[in-house]
């Protein structure tokens, strides 16, 4: 196996595969290797629907060998460390590998240990997460007979920031369809100040919350989980210290037990675990002060090492971590690497923070949030022409777009380096 490559990519997820495929579309003679230890590649956006019983989990997985681009050398190994001054990546089994250009795209990792009690309770009993085991979420949902169904998310950045509320809406719709609404309380608790940062989408989602009668709890950061006694503790994190602290809600058994700490009993708990960059990234010289890859927000070029680029979930960008974001990031990275190969400046700074979040609001209902760094609502012109209606509003066509069209485009277009 070669120990030097013109372009070395860390990560065989969406970002790594798409970047490699797009590079080879431009020049099939490029020498590219991908370091990726996993045997299976997952289409994770569908896990929301898996958790609601509306998608087959098996259809979200394909062998890594089937999606690895032709002419790429697959190094089935773990990256463990960097020596960027010497253009070296160390691996677990294959020693040191050198490169001319490096693309860092290993995604992120779950870190349940950051919430007391989560590691012990996750994916057991009535504690579940679409992020880790969506099939277990579906089992919990099917077995729910009433009481408090709590949905929450951590204070860390997470992949697909809207996912924790999507499953809340689907669960509320499921309870409605199964005559459980009258004896169920759906609670959505978030450390954030609003349900969504993009105004037209926020207006739609507040109507959805009203329609289902969801108890919306802003400034609630999950602090501790007692899965044995079925209690979750939140820290109230409103930055306005002059505000009246907490409104207890007897209807859901909510109780303030000390200053800024609230407890809520649950009969179902869905949580997005805290998420961080992989340890070998956090321990490197490549990260910013928050522990994410330190790249230019518009060119995706590393701020210190000019022959290193980063994209996808590991990148320290002030936008949502989604596959849609990668769709706009990858062409910029590819263009800049090709420029550097030709001894030109990496002058493409066209990434404006585009991301999108398909917000499922019930079975057969969805709104599509598309936005940039400034939280402007920015519908993709191609998609807008295809849908011919306001995607900030709920529509069944959007749901079918997520369930049928997006997986097709992902496997057959995006991962093959084609424009979509």
As annotated, the active-site residues are 160, 357
Which of helix, strand or coil describes residue 189? strand
The enclosing H or E element of 186 equals: strand 184-190
Q: Are 286 and 82 in contact (CB under 8 A)?
A: yes
Q: Which residues pair with 81 in a beta bridge?
A: 90
Closest CA to 61 of 410, 416, 418, 417: 410
DSSP code per residue over 31-65? -EEEE---SEEE-GGGHHHHHTTSS-GGGGEEEHH
- Is residue 16 within 8 Å of 105, Cβ to Cβ? yes
Give the pairing type, strands 4-10 and 32-35.
Answer: parallel
What the block records as the tokens of 109 is: 């990792």
DSSP state letters, 307-347: TEEE-GGGB--SS-B-HHHHHHHHHHHHHHHHHHHTT----
How far CA 160 is from CA of 45, 65, 319, in Å, comes to 8, 26, 10
Percent of the chain as helix, strand, coil, to the nearest 5 = 35, 30, 40
**Distance between CA 386 and CA 406 in Å, rounded?**
13
Q: What distance in Å separates the CA atoms of residue 325 and residue 342, rounded to the nearest whole number?
A: 27
User: In a 10 Å sphere around its CB, with 0-12 CB exposed, 13-18 middle and 19+ buried, how is residue 188 labelled?
Assistant: buried
Contact partners, residue 63, CB within 8 Å, separation at least 6: 39, 40, 41
Pairing of strands 255-258, 365-371: unpaired
Let me know: does 271 contact 164? Beta carbons within 8 Å: yes
330 neighbors 18 (Cβ within 8 angstroms): yes
Strands 147-152 and 268-271: parallel
Closest to 140 measured CA to CA, from 361, 148, 120: 148
């Amino acid at each position: 196996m070669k120990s030097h490559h013109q372009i070395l990519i860390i990560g065989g997820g969406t970002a790594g595969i798409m970047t490699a495929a797009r590079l080879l579309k431009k020049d099939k003679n490029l020498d590219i290797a991908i370091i990726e230890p996993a045997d299976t590649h997952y289409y994770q956006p569908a896990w929301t629907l898996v958790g609601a019983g509306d998608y087959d989990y098996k259809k979200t997985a394909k062998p890594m060998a089937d999606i690895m681009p032709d002419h790429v050398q697959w190094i089935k190994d773990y990256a463990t460390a960097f020596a960027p001054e010497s253009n070296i990546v160390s691996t677990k089994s294959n020693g040191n590998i050198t490169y001319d250009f490096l693309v860092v795209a290993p995604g992120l990792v779950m870190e349940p240990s950051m919430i007391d009690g989560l590691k012990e309770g996750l994916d057991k009993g009535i504690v579940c997460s679409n992020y880790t085991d969506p099939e277990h979420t579906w089992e919990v949902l099917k077995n729910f007979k009433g009481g408090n169904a709590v949905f929450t998310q951590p204070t860390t950045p997470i992949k697909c920031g809207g996912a924790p509320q999507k499953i809340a809406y689907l669960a509320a719709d499921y309870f409605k369809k199964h005559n459980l609404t009258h004896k169920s309380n759906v609670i959505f608790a978030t450390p954030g100040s609003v349900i969504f940062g993009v105004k037209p989408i926020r207006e739609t989602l507040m109507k959805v919350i009203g329609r289902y009668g969801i108890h919306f709890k802003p400034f609630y950061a999950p602090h501790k989980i007692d899965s044995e006694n079925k209690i979750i503790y939140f820290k109230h994190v409103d930055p306005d210290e002059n505000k009246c602290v907490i409104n207890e809600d007897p209807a859901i058994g909510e109780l303030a037990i000390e200053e800024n700490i609230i407890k809520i009993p649950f009969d179902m708990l869905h949580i997005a675990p805290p998420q961080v960059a992989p340890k070998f990234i956090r321990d490197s010289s490549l990260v910013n002060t928050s522990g994410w890859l330190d790249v230019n927000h518009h060119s995706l070029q590393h701020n210190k090492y000019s022959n290193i680029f980063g994209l996808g979930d590991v990148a320290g960008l002030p936008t949502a971590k989604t596959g849609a974001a990668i769709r706009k990031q990858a062409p910029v990275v590819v263009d800049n690497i090709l420029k550097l190969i030709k001894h030109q400046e990496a002058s493409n700074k066209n990434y404006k923070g585009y991301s999108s979040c398909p917000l499922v609001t019930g079975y057969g209902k969805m709104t599509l949030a598309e936005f940039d760094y400034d939280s402007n609502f920015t519908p993709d012109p191609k998609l807008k022409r295809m849908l011919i209606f306001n995607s900030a509003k709920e529509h069944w066509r959007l749901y079918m777009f997520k369930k049928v069209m997006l997986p097709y485009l992902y496997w057959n277009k995006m991962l093959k380096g084609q424009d979509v």
